[in-house]
Amino acid sequence: MNVIKRNGDIEEVSFDKVQRRIRNLSTNLSHVNQTLVSQKICSRIINNIKTSALDVLGSEICASMITTHPEYGVLASRITISNHQKNTSPSFSETIQLLYDNTDVHGKNVPLISESLYRVVQANKSKFNFVIDYSRDYNFDYFGFKTLERSYLIRVNGVIVERPQHMLMRVSIGIHNEDFKEAIHTYNLMSQKYFIHATPTLFNSGTPRPQLSSCFLLAMLDDSIEGIYKTLKSCALISKWAGGIGMHIHNIRGKHSRIRGTNGVSNGIVPMLKVFNATACYVDQGGGKRNGSIAVYLEPWHSDMFDFLLLRKNTGSEEERARDLFYALWVPDLFMERVKSEGKWTLMCPDKCPGLSDVFGDDFKELYEKYEREGRGNRTIDARELWFAVLEAQIETGVPYILFKDAANRKSNQKNLGVIKSSNLCTEIIEYSSPEEFAVCNLASIGLPKYVEYPNFDRLNIKIYSKTGCIYCKYSKRYMKSMNIEYEEINLDNNGKRADFFMTLNDELEEVGGDSYSGELLSSLPQIFIDDKHIGGFAELVKELRPVFNFDKLYEVTKVITKNLNKVIDINYYPVPQAFTSNKRHRPIGLGVQGLADVFALMRISFDSDEAKKLNRAIFETIYYASLESSMEIAKKREGQMKRYHELLNNSTYGFRNVPCFDEEEDEMEFHKLHTILKPIDEELRLTKFLGAYSSFDGSPASQGILQYDMWNVQPSERWKTKFQELKTNIHKYGLRNSLLVAPMPTASTSQILGNNECFESFTSNIYTRKTLAGTFIVANKFLIEDLIRIGIWSKEIKDQIILDRGSVQNCKQIPKVFKEIYKTVWEISQKTIIDMAADRGAFIDQSQSLNLSLGEPDFKKLTSMHFYSWSKGLKTGVYYLRTRPVANAQQFTIDPLKAMEQNNSSDVCESCTG
């Protein structure tokens, strides 16, 4: 049996060499059985296998053993990344040269990176090669690296030539160009997982067509053949460059409506949407990297609404289905009120009843009821008939998304621009769009687990009063040993000694507690004291020895991301002119998060606890403040530069083609330097105040001292209250550089890259398999397994029990209650709590949030209660996906329990706006 080495040499397979490679990569992995792994690899070797394929085999074998111990996942990552580094250049500048020298099949030079990036790297070769840290490639877990390998790392002739660090450096230089300091700062933060830019930015930054935007919101240009097909072309161009699309079609006439030009009748929205469906399938994002994705928004008064709700259903005529699009309702309050009061609802055609999508709130109600009185509607039904049709579609397909039109418009900092008519593909972007302006958003997400830091426990004086045979005494000691924490143990096996201890302890607790003393007498062990203060037993120890969240670092990094996204707006390639117009005028950005559930697990907090609710709000309040302050500071700095720019311009004369001419060479040089920095658009040049702000700032709520939390009637916390007031003063003086700032997105792919749970969601399961674009992977809750290993109870039996319980730990008797609380899955958390937390952070989210809701066994009553609660809480997004799961079939687990855990909703995740 032979193996082919990387240099082409052929030699006989050697078990010792295989084992030596595994041993070299298993440093500090004490729970990996190196011999077993080596044996498994050798048992599957085929003749003339390449050493690189041998590494792939080894990494896959280790990945399949992740649920045995997390260290096998670490080894899987090390093998695959070591293999990748052996196959790629250890020089960043060489890799950039290779990408620049790329040729097509005709031998023509077709660079894969931009001329400007190439020049910057060539001018600073030694600096970049010195700074880049390839050891950080090993920070990516196996799951994350395979995701990068599948879609993100650039290939030449089908062969990957980038390393993860190359990609991150390319992205950083692509954003900052010649600003070496900022490029390195961005690289260091991303390579250490503090944040990550969105998927289109990772794909395209530093390339000849840097289309870095994630989300595009389109208006149907016109209810005509010309308008429809121009919009279709825009969708194709945006999809080509990896943009996800949200499109509203409220203005398209319904079925059987009169077409004046031909004296015929319309076929309605369904045949039109089938054309858009075909385009989404044909024009995939980035040339085969991801499917094209379009979400279609419609208000519930539209006469074709019932047909709209059937489009994604699994049954029915293919002529009436368009299953590759996503569907969303843009719901006015009036509809919810009619459903609640069991009232009537009139379906209308926008051709006969124009303007309904152009108004909201009382204006909408007045116009809608006017049309009702005039008898212009097509059909009047019970409002609940339509409502139940919506719920039926959601139960079967997970859509339509539900967004509340009035909340989205009332609580928008863009309300001075006009009525907002839709959201985006993933329901977190709430921006104004029109036939002249297609809204755009550039995204990035913050890796929240990175901000969790452990204090120094070395100085703690810990005493544990224990008893032989006491399970929780054993757990407590193992838990502290696993964290290298020293303690003093006092054994209370003697009955008399134990009785005296509890008598003294209970007397002290009564004395200290005073009127608040519960009267409950302690009698169980262990009892633990830290620095002579009684804390309780094992559960209390777990919570006491927990890390802290670094809000100062979160504040600092948020400001960096805000600056980065502003540069992205300026350097971005816009597929259609309407997108350029919108983004340059209003400059919205979207900061999101990933790994909120990981943070709660690390900090020993149950997702539905009061502590979690407080931390959830505090994180988003910090992000909102920091991004606002950064946006104001950019506007302030820019105002000074714009004043000087105008001063120079006013002192110039206009020569050929209105090019300004200067008497002094120094003035000309300064002017051109400022022009390069500022890149002012015409609207900015016409401003007479707020010279550094985005051009439509004046008249916005923020310009009037109204921020997002004011629109929710919420007060900032004591930590930020005074600072927000000072910030309002500065905003009133200098303005903001961005109309919108915070938009927590799904982070479908980037959370896989960083190894975090998605966005702000709770854990879906503690063990399951998952299918993604990168392949099929076993996913285990690493925090749960590590905790159970710490106390010495992780076993195959517990793993099988969790699998049989569909990822739940609640029925595992061996698992302590404190861990059962921490590791609740989404199916075990009240959706009321999820909605409450969305509302709590919503006061500090000036766009919206991709809020999934989950019901194990949904019915109309539960869904109605849930949606109306979201509406009553003032959410802009009522629901993104409705996730359901069938009742467990016990028989299926006896065949292949892991396969039974497979999650079927993974193909529906949005990757266009993953931040």
CA distances from 670 to 7, 648, 654, 838 (A): 55, 9, 17, 48
Q: Which 3 state secondary structure label does DSSP give 258?
A: strand
**470 labelled catalytic:** no
CA distances from 132 to 91, 122, 191, 194, 561 (A): 9, 15, 9, 17, 20
Q: Which 3 state secondary structure label does DSSP give 403?
A: strand
Q: Are 390 and 311 in contact (CB under 8 A)?
A: no
Residues 6 or more apart whose Cβ sits within 8 Å of residue 58 = 18, 21, 22, 37, 41, 79
Q: Report the alpha-carbon distance of residue 704 to residue 420 in Å, rounded.
A: 20
**Which H or E run contains 328?**
strand 326-331
- Backbone phi, then psi, for 295, in 5-degree steps? -105, 135
Residue of 545, 513, 547, 506 lying closest to 527 (CA atoms): 506
Q: Which of 162, 428, 431, 821 is catalytic?
A: 428
C-alpha angle 846/850/855, rounded to 5°? 135
Q: What is the DSSP letter of 109?
A: B
Mode of pairing for the β-strands spanning 264-265 and 215-219: unpaired
Exposed e or buried b per residue across 215-236, where buried means at least 16 C-beta atoms within 10 angstroms of its C-beta: bbbbbbbebeeebbebbbebbb
> Long-range contacts for 800-805 (Cβ within 8 Å, ≥24 apart)?
800/897, 802/766, 802/767, 803/767, 803/893, 803/897, 803/898, 803/900, 803/901, 804/893, 804/897
CA distances from 852 to 746, 752, 762 (A): 9, 18, 10
- Backbone phi, then psi, for 245, in 5-degree steps? -125, 135
Q: Report the alpha-carbon distance of residue 889 to residue 896 in Å, rounded.
A: 12
According to DSSP H, which parts of 740-830 are helical?
A: 750-754, 782-790, 796-804, 817-822
Handedness of CA 16, 21, 24, 28 (dihedral sign): negative
DSSP lists the bridge partners of residue 778 as 769
CB atoms near residue 410 (< 10 Å): 15
Q: Which 3 state secondary structure label does DSSP give 12?
A: strand
**426 labelled catalytic:** yes
**913 labelled catalytic:** no
Q: Which of 215, 349, 426, 441 is catalytic?
A: 426
Categorise residue 410: left if φ over 0, alpha if ψ from -120 to 50, beta otherwise.
alpha
What's at 305, amino acid-wise? M
Residue of 185, 28, 152, 122 lying closest to 914 (CA atoms): 152
Tokens, residue 149: 């390998």
Helices 333-340 and 860-872 cross at an angle (nearest 10°) of 130
Work out the end-to-end distance of the chain between its first and last CA atoms, rounded to an integer number of angstroms: 47
What's at 432, amino acid-wise? Y
Q: Report the alpha-carbon distance of residue 871 to residue 879 in Å, rounded.
A: 10
Residues 6 or more apart whose Cβ sits within 8 Å of residue 230 = 221, 222
Q: Which of 251, 378, 413, 424 is catalytic?
A: 424
Q: Cis link prior to 526 (omega < 30° from 0)?
A: yes
Tokens, residue 123: 């001018």
> Long-range contacts for 711-715 (Cβ within 8 Å, ≥24 apart)?
711/410, 711/411, 712/411, 712/842, 712/843, 712/874, 714/843
According to DSSP H, which parts of 105-179 are helical?
A: 115-123, 125-131, 142-147, 164-176
**Which are the catalytic amino acids?**
424, 426, 428
